[in-house]
Structure 1
Amino acid sequence: MSFNPLAEKGIPLEQQYRNWRELNVTPLDPEPPDPYTTTRVIALNAIEAESIAFKHNFFRRCPDQDVRRTLAEVRYLENQQQRVVNWLLPGVASVLETTLGYEQNAVDLTAWVARMEPDPYLKQAYEFGVLEDFDHLYRYANLYEMVERRKAEKIVDGLTEVMPGRPTIQQHRHPIDHVNEPYDRNTASPLSKLHALTIMAAEQQVATYYMNVGPQYMEPIARQLYQEIGLIEQQHVTHYESLVDPGETWWEQLLNHELCEVYLYYSFFTEETDRRVKAIWELHLNEEITHLQIAADLLRRHDGREPEELIGDSLPQPVRFESNKAYLRELMADQMDLTKLGSGYVREAHERFEWMQQQIHGGEKPPSERVIDEHRARFGTEYRLETEGPHPIAGLRASADEVNR
């Protein structure tokens, strides 16, 4: 059944203000029956953070005081939403346990987007990136067992496998090779625009989180691994944000951001298994419907266009968090040896890639390789969670040399 948020009755802004008791939500059980409840929390926190940051930037460049007041009010209410969402995360979870949730979110959300993306070029961008986040999950899982003596299967619950993706050592490229071609704002489907905003927001959140939590560790290998992977996540932000057409007007961008929030809250409301959390998604959905309709009115007044011209009259198929094991194994078998050259993809290492590798590594093993070596030295093997048979590239180990054999 189609869902048209422009035709729905939302909650008026004056009824969206909450007191401290309402904001102080009870966090999730640290061992929820559905691990994807945690990834839904992480994904929605990311899109709220992106929407708030966008409104700050718009506010700083907008000369219209009435619009600035509207942005300030909506942004305040979305700050309340973000606090409710982010405070659902259990305080007893360690930084590494939250990190594993972030990487599981990145893997399964990006895999879903790649599977659903109608534009071949954009689809390739998501397929390329997901194999790198898949490898990050593997590196952090090994660090988790070393530092906390626990296994990542406690977090991912077998829904996402833990094994090498495209080795992190190979992910350090020249910055210009992460700048992709943007979609065309006039021809791209609303779904493609939603996908780009969603994954951009998710990667920005990860990059910010790793920058903040990495220095909190005392273990040298942990500090170094967060630093290395955090640098890759910054590259990923460039990789995904470059897909968005920079020619979109501020009013277009505002509409797309609000639609993205509506889309994710609607999607996760339809699949949430935790009844208490489901009620929060429903409340925020109805609040965001009003925010979207405000953005639609601003588009009409300032851009002279109807919102349906840009976003259609119904939401796309809802996003689903589900296991993507078979799909990821296909990608590993077909695309593990890809790298970037300009806005395209190649299978052979090129001069600029090799130059950047030398600048970054200088002949030394990076933390992402050493964490596996240390795990093997301590436990006799690396940590993996393979539930569908052996790795699709037979005999794959962690190092880039073995992948490029």
Structure 2
Amino acid sequence: MFNPLDHKGIPLQEQIRSWRELNVEPVDPEAVDPYTRCRIITMNGIEVEAIMFSHQFARMCPDPQVKQLLAYTRYVESQQQRTVNWLLPGLASVLETTLGYEQVAVDLTAWVARHEPDPYLRQAYEFGVLEDFDHLYRYANLYEMVERRRAEKIVDALTEVMPGRPTALEHRHPFDEVRAPYDKDLVDPRSKLHALTILSAEQQVMMYYMNVGPQYMEPIARQLYQEISLIEQEHVTHYESLVDPGETMWERLITHEYNECWLYYSFMEQESDPRIKAIWELHLQMELAQLQQAADLLRQYDGREPEQIVGAAGVPEPLLFEPNKEFLRGLLATQMDLTKLGEGYVREAHERFEWMQEQLHAGGKPPSEEVIDMHREKFGDEYRIETEGPHPVESLRAREGARRA
């Protein structure tokens, strides 16, 4: 079992790198393993969250020496973020990167849901992944219309592309996005890492769509990014509310650094590209030293040991990017009609949900439905990648229709 707390890593004073070292060669968009792309996108989101958290911590911290330490590690994290994100090729279009983001959202969240030990938290991930699954389907149809290319060039056959919970039905009253948090003193340490990982990934998607949507000339593209970016904001609320608000900033600093160690270790173990694997290994060694500094700060200012926050057993099993088709099809067959009410989930539309739907959709058909209609009109059908038989819900409906006949 790998325990990051047992390793010193590269000394902090040796972690600043030159432009030559930061000037990494991007991956080849035509040859890259789709899951290598997913790992790059994931670690960019993790590093962005680390930087944003450090800035928030600094704004609340009165101690100038602590602020200096945060500023130093934040600069290193910024170099790591640039290295990771600059691995993405400039040749890739915004929509191609978007498809990669949604493949991350689907397979990352599905893996976390499968491995989450807490039933309440697991349900939160199962609920969210069906919406990201639908976003992938909507963007894949837009991609073929706008760029005349098919999404299998990006996601391969690793992730299916077909309808999830309809995007139009994902607009809920903001009150119902707020979940009950885990208890930081009782929850399994794995759950803290899962929550931070998915929150970071969804936050990245939200910010990306907020900024790239207006770059398109096509009205339907601009509208679809606008709609889905609003739902990604809902997802960030959904996931951030799972985190115990009673955690101190020192605890969260430990969790952030430990989570980065776990993910770089996981991706180093799985990476198929030797050049990218070397970057994961280098960044892991850097994060180990950053974790040691965070542990020292926790002891000094919070009077506790890091094992009290993240456990003494070492990191959980490596997080893997792998197909989740059977798991997702099971969710499609059983949870498509769920929505939220308060901190729970229900199958019937309720007053707040219907009010929100009326506010948004009263003026006509939403972009997420319009894009499918336009694709059917242009190509005669919608775009899908179904590798394991028909859509589960459609199969159930077909069997029910045959039984009634």
Alignment TM-score > 0.5, same fold: yes
Percentage identity across paired residues of the two chains: 72
CA distance in structure 2 between the aligned counterparts of 1:204 and 1:247, rounded to whole angstroms: 21
Alpha-carbon shift at residue 31 of structure 1 (Å): 2.1
- Render the CA deviation track for 1:349-368: whole Å, top value 9, x for unaligned: 00110000000111510000
- Partner SS state of residue 393, structure 2: coil
1:193 aligns with 2:185: no
Alignment correspondent of 2:273: 274
Alignment correspondent of 2:367: 367
Q: 1:94 to 1:185 in 2, by over 3 A?
A: same
Q: Which amino acid in the other structure matches residue 326 of structure 1?
A: E
Alignment correspondent of 2:324: 324
Alignment correspondent of 2:352: 352
The TM-score with structure 2 as length reference comes to 0.97
Please report the RMSD computed on the Cα atoms of aligned residues, expressed in angstroms.
1.0
Alignment correspondent of 1:85: 84
Q: Which amino acid in the other structure matches residue 60 of structure 2?
A: R
- Partner SS state of residue 153, structure 2: helix
CA distance in structure 2 between the aligned counterparts of 1:388 and 1:83, rounded to whole angstroms: 38
- Render the CA deviation track for 1:127-152: whole Å, top value 9, x for unaligned: 00000000000000000000000000
1:96-107 mapped onto 2 (5 Å cutoff): 96-107=95-106
Are 2:8 and 2:292, in contact at CA under 8 Å, matched by a contact in 1? Answer: no
Alignment correspondent of 2:386: 386
Alpha-carbon shift at residue 312 of structure 1 (Å): 1.7
- Render the CA deviation track for 1:219-266: whole Å, top value 9, x for unaligned: 000000000000000000000000000000010011001111111101
Q: Which amino acid in the other structure matches residue 328 of structure 2?
A: L
1:339 aligns with 2:350: no
- Partner SS state of residue 393, structure 1: helix
Q: Which amino acid in the other structure matches residue 390 of structure 1?
A: P
CA distance in structure 1 between the aligned counterparts of 2:144 and 2:120, rounded to whole angstroms: 38
Q: Which amino acid in the other structure matches residue 290 of structure 2?
A: H
CA distance in structure 2 between the aligned counterparts of 1:33 and 1:26, rounded to whole angstroms: 13
CA distance in structure 1 between the aligned counterparts of 2:195 and 2:30, rounded to whole angstroms: 31
Alignment correspondent of 1:10: 9
CA distance in structure 2 between the aligned counterparts of 1:280 and 1:342, rounded to whole angstroms: 43
- Partner SS state of residue 287, structure 1: helix
Alpha-carbon shift at residue 9 of structure 1 (Å): 2.5
Alignment correspondent of 1:403: none
Q: 1:63 to 1:51 in 2, by over 3 A?
A: same
Alpha-carbon shift at residue 33 of structure 1 (Å): 4.5
CA distance in structure 2 between the aligned counterparts of 1:268 and 1:174, rounded to whole angstroms: 37
Alignment correspondent of 1:50: 49
- Partner SS state of residue 394, structure 1: helix
Q: Which amino acid in the other structure matches residue 134 of structure 1?
A: F
Q: Which amino acid in the other structure matches residue 228 of structure 2?
A: I
Q: Which amino acid in the other structure matches residue 370 of structure 1?
A: E
Q: 1:128 to 1:54 in 2, by over 3 A?
A: same
1:157-172 mapped onto 2 (5 Å cutoff): 157-172=156-171
- Render the CA deviation track for 1:187-243: whole Å, top value 9, x for unaligned: 011100000000000000000000110000000000000000000000000000000
Q: Which amino acid in the other structure matches residue 158 of structure 1?
A: A
Alpha-carbon shift at residue 387 of structure 1 (Å): 0.2
- Render the CA deviation track for 1:12-44: whole Å, top value 9, x for unaligned: 111111111110100001123521000000000
- Render the CA deviation track for 1:82-110: whole Å, top value 9, x for unaligned: 00000000110000000000000000000
Q: Please say which of residues 362-371 and 324-333 is displaced more in the overlay.
A: 362-371
CA distance in structure 2 between the aligned counterparts of 1:318 and 1:12, rounded to whole angstroms: 25
The TM-score with structure 1 as length reference comes to 0.97
Alignment correspondent of 1:154: 153
Aligned residues: 396
Alpha-carbon shift at residue 394 of structure 1 (Å): 1.5
- Render the CA deviation track for 1:279-299: whole Å, top value 9, x for unaligned: 000000000001111111100
1:174 aligns with 2:173: yes
Q: 1:48 to 1:28 in 2, by over 3 A?
A: same
Q: Which amino acid in the other structure matches residue 361 of structure 1?
A: H
CA distance in structure 2 between the aligned counterparts of 1:34 and 1:47, rounded to whole angstroms: 20
Give 5+ residue unaligned stretches, structure 2.
398-405
Alignment correspondent of 1:400: none
Alignment correspondent of 1:217: 216
Q: Which amino acid in the other structure matches residue 227 of structure 1?
A: Q
